[in-house]
Structure 1
Amino acid sequence: MADLHVEEFYKDAAIALVQLYGAFPRRINLFVEDIAGPDEPDEFGLHSKRHMACFGALLWLAEEGLLRYVDTIRQEALDQAVLTRGAFIRLSAPAPASLTRELGIADGGSVSTLPPSVQDDLSTHIHLVRTVLRSGNSGRISQAMQAVFFADSGNY
């Protein structure tokens, strides 16, 4: 079992990437509260550790080349964030069939009856991430995000 802060990181990263993919190629403001939930700064105006961990996850995604942004909005959001080319290609790429089966996402015979274009959409990393996020299972979210992070980056 991973440390709680690592599981929260994977979930925050997954939510951020799903939001950015859903808006791609449009730039959006990526708000920490939309990802980690509401936060009440203390009497000194400092955010909670949870809020700051999520903000740190967003900055890490940028430092690792998965997203770009123009500026930060205090410690509340990333202004005009967008996926990088590499992240878009990685999320659009097929996830390993063995992983989708392991996570219980493979639908067996019913998927093979769908049109090829729909089958292709259902096999992508982004579909896998969206599906495990809906499940709410932190172990599955961690596995899916590890697959995204460790996917062969090729030449992108």
Structure 2
Amino acid sequence: MADIHVEEFYKDVAIALAQLYAAFPRRISLFVEDIAGPDDPDDFGLHSKRHMACFGALLWLSEEGFLRYVDTIRQEALDQAVLSRSAFTRLSAPAPQTLTEKFGPNPSDSELPTSVERDRSTYIHLLRTALKSGSSNQISLIVQATFFLDRDIQTVH
């Protein structure tokens, strides 16, 4: 089992990327509270560790070239955020068959039009499906497969 902060990181990344993809190519304000949930700053106005971890994940996505933004809104949001070309291309790409068979459309959906089947085999669809499932393990595996794994996808369990 991964450390809880790593599982939260993968979930934050998945939610942020799904929000940005849904708005693409528009620039949006990406609010931490929309991703990590409400935060109650302490008496000194400092945010919780959870809030700051999510904000850090958003900044990390930018530093690693997955998104661009114009400015921060304090530690509340990234203003005018948009997916980078490489992130958009990757999310739109078809995932390997081994991954879609494990986490993708149901085999009973084989009667669907080709265009729908193609859309349901993309990384963004798998990411959204993982988020809907609520499974930390599934979210982690899909985020890793989408952006971080350079090895053969068949090694993903």
Q: If the length of structure 2 is used for normalisation, what is the TM-score?
A: 0.92
Contact 1:125–1:148 (CA<8 Å) still a contact in 2? Answer: yes
Please list every run of 5 or more consecutive structure 2 residues that lacks an aligned counterpart in the other structure. Answer: 151-157
Q: CA RMSD in A?
A: 1.1
* Pair 1:117 & 2:115 matched: yes
How far did residue 148 of structure 1 move? 1.0
* 1:33–1:131 distance in 2 versus 1, CA, 3 Å: same
Q: Deviations over 1:75-104 (max 9, x none)?
A: 00000000000000000001122122333x
Residue in 2 that maps onto 1:138: 136
SS at match of 2:139: helix
1:52-96 CA distances to partner (integer Å, 9 max, x unpaired)? 000000000000100000000000000000000000000000112
Offset of residue 113 of structure 1: 1.6
Q: How many residues align?
A: 150
How far apart in 1 are the matches of 2:112 and 2:102?
Answer: 21
Distance 2:55 2:83 in 1: 16
Give the structure 2 partner of residue 52 of structure 1. 52
Confirm or deny: 8 A CA contact 2:105 2:120 kept in the other structure: no
- The SS at the match of 1:39 is coil
| Identical counterparts, % of pairs | 74
Matches within 5 A, 1:88-127: 88-103=88-103, 105-108=104-107, 110-127=108-125
1:116 deviation in Å? 1.0
Segments of structure 1 that go 5 or more residues without pairing to the other structure are none
Give secondary structure in 1 for the equivalent of 2:53: helix
Q: Distance in 2 between matches of 1:38 and 1:116?
A: 41
